[in-house]
Homo-oligomer: A and B are copies of this chain.
Amino acid sequence: MARVVVDVMLKPEILDPQGQAVANALPRLGVDDVSSVRIGRRVEIEFDGEIDLDRVNEIADKLLANPVIEDFTVNVAEVA
C-alpha cells in the first residue's frame, strides 16, 4: 500500500478570505506576529499497488484542483 498526498493551495495572487479571517482572529488569541495565513486542501490518496505519479498528476489536475485559481503539489508520503 502506498500513500500520496496532494496539497492544493490557492495561487499566491488569488485572495484567500478564509485565511484572512483566521489571520484577523489571531490577535484575539494574543498572537500578533503572524503576517499571513493561507488555507488550502490536503488530499490523502491510498493506492493498493504501485503509484503512477503521472496518473496522480492527472487526478489532481482534473478532479482535485481548479488550475485556473489553484496550484497543487504531489508528494509520496509513505510506502508500507
Which residues of A line the B interface, CB within 8 A? 1, 7-9, 19, 22, 25-26, 29, 31, 33-49, 55, 58-59, 62-64
Is B48 a contact of A35 with CB atoms below 8 Å? yes
Is A59 a contact of B9 with CB atoms below 8 Å? no
Kindly list chain B residues whose C-beta atoms are within 8 Å of the C-beta of A62: 29
24 contacts between A and B (CB under 8 A): A1-B35, A9-B42, A19-B44, A22-B63, A22-B64, A25-B63, A29-B62, A33-B48, A33-B49, A34-B46, A34-B47, A35-B47, A36-B45, A36-B46, A37-B43, A38-B44, A39-B41, A39-B43, A40-B41, A40-B42, A40-B44, A41-B41, A41-B42, A42-B42
